[in-house]
């Protein structure tokens, strides 16, 4: 049974009613966008002859995604995060805001409120004995090459098992998360551990969707950054450590050629002593170039619900309310 009803007046009138086109209240923008999305989905159902079984199994996957707060994980997997980056890149190019370090996606695992250190500090709590010591450092400059002193460099990354503190309850609070203020020469330098790549939980609804596409859910070892300074464009980016099997095969599409950085093994006793470390370490150097801007909106990261900025209400929203 293959039927095609999308183009009938009944269905078209039905879509107008669903989208509230005949109602005074609500948001015109929401009505337009919902009308477009619902039209596209209805047409997909019609064109692919989607069965009730298929439709309801999709609803079930959506419920599981929501219950596990996994939309923020599937989102980069389906390329939405990178597509938004491509649009911001295009807007920057058009406005001639060029020459800075490239952006790449934030991902779902940032937590606000990490401890702040001046110039240098330590990010790991010392408990991850499988983690190889990392000396992560660099300089923040503007597009003319001038150092940016007092820039705010927020860094977060996974431990040796690919887990992030806050989301991984076995880690201490704010482990591997710091806010570093650059010194008078625009420099930052922190001791941490080399992160491992991240893999989507194999039994998760996110991986279930990826499996249907024949795709893996792996990310290469990477380190997240927010960098900001007055008069400069806020930068959300990441570095991907070179040599990881997934460096150029990231399920979240975050890798950019300019952001692939080697970790250089150093075992020279003088270098170890100079950094006050206790043994061989790997040095990762990431210098950052910020584009200038006077626009206040561009100096701040875009608004987005983030952990600890908004209390996540996990309670059921399905209880219902008495009619008025």
The answer to whether 153 and 301 have CB atoms below 8 angstroms apart is no
First to last CA, the chain: 44
Which of the listed partners (ligand MBD, Fe ion, none) does 73 bind, with a CB threshold of 5 to 8 Å by partner kind?
A: ligand MBD
C-alpha–C-alpha distance, residues 55 and 49, integer Å: 10
Q: Is 138 in the site for Fe ion (CB under 5 A)?
A: no
Window contacting ligand MBD (CB under 6 A); options: 21-29, 100-108, 140-148, 308-316:
100-108
Window contacting ligand MBD (CB under 6 A); options: 92-100, 107-115, 144-152, 270-278:
107-115
The residue with its CB nearest to Fe ion is 107
- Interface residue with Fe ion, options 76, 77, 100, 107 (CB under 5 A): 107
Interface with ligand MBD in residues 186-225 (CB under 6 A): 198, 219
Cβ-proximal residues to 272 (8 Å cutoff; 6+ apart), any chain: 266, 278, 279, 280, 281
Q: Is 108 in the site for Fe ion (CB under 5 A)?
A: no
Cβ-proximal residues to 49 (8 Å cutoff; 6+ apart), any chain: 1, 2, 3
- Interface residue with ligand MBD, options 19, 42, 65, 76 (CB under 6 A): 76
As measured in angstroms, the least distance from the Cβ of 68 to ligand MBD is 13
As measured in angstroms, the least distance from the Cβ of 204 to ligand MBD is 11
Window contacting Fe ion (CB under 5 A); options: 40-48, 100-108, 117-125, 259-267:
100-108
Alpha carbon separation from 289 to 49, 76, 95, 273, 277 (Å, rounded): 51, 25, 17, 30, 28
As measured in angstroms, the least distance from the Cβ of 303 to ligand MBD is 19
The residue with its CB nearest to ligand MBD is 107
- Which two three-digit tokens encode residue 178? 């710091």
- Interface residue with ligand MBD, options 19, 65, 73, 190 (CB under 6 A): 73
User: Residue 182 or residue 240: which is nearer to Fe ion going by CB?
Assistant: 240
Cβ-proximal residues to 299 (8 Å cutoff; 6+ apart), any chain: 228, 230, 231, 232, 233, 234, 293
Q: Is 105 in the site for ligand MBD (CB under 6 A)?
A: yes
Positive or negative, the CA dihedral 124, 127, 130, 132 is positive
Cβ-proximal residues to 97 (8 Å cutoff; 6+ apart), any chain: 233, 291, 293, 298
Q: Is 19 in the site for ligand MBD (CB under 6 A)?
A: no
List of residues contacting Fe ion (CB under 5 A): 107
């Amino acid at each position: 049974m293959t039927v095609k009803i999308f183009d009938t007046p009944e269905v078209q009138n039905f879509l107008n009613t669903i989208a509230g086109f005949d109602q005074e209240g609500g948001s015109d923008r929401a009505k337009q966008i919902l009308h477009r999305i619902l039209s596209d989905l209805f047409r997909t159902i019609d064109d692919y002859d989607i069965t009730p079984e298929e439709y309801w199994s999709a609803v079930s996957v959506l419920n599981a995604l929501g219950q596990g707060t996994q939309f923020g994980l599937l989102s980069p997997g389906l390329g939405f995060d990178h597509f938004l980056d491509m649009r911001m890149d295009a807007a920057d190019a058009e406005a001639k805001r060029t020459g800075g370090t490239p952006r790449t996606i934030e991902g779902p695992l940032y937590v606000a409120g990490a401890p702040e250190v001046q110039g240098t500090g330590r990010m790991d709590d010392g408990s991850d004995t499988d983690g190889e010591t990392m000396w992560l450092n660099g300089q923040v400059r503007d597009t003319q090459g001038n150092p940016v002193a007092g820039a705010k460099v927020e860094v977060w990354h996974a431990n040796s098992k690919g887990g992030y503190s806050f989301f991984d309850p076995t880690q201490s609070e704010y482990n591997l998360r710091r806010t570093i203020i650059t010194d008078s020469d625009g420099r930052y330098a922190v001791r941490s551990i080399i992160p491992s790549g991240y893999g989507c939980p194999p039994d998760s609804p996110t991986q279930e969707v990826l499996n249907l596409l024949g795709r893996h859910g792996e990310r290469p070892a990477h380190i997240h950054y927010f960098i900001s300074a007055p008069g400069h464009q806020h930068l959300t980016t990441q570095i991907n450590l070179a040599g990881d099997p997934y460096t150029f095969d990231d399920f979240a599409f975050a890798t950019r050629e300019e952001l692939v950085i080697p970790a250089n093994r150093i075992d020279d006793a003088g270098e170890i002593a100079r950094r006050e470390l206790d043994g061989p370490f790997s040095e990762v150097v990431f210098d950052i170039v910020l584009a200038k801007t006077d626009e206040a909106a561009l100096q701040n990261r875009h608004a987005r619900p983030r952990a600890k900025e908004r209390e996540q209400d996990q309670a059921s929203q399905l209880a219902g309310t008495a009619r008025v």
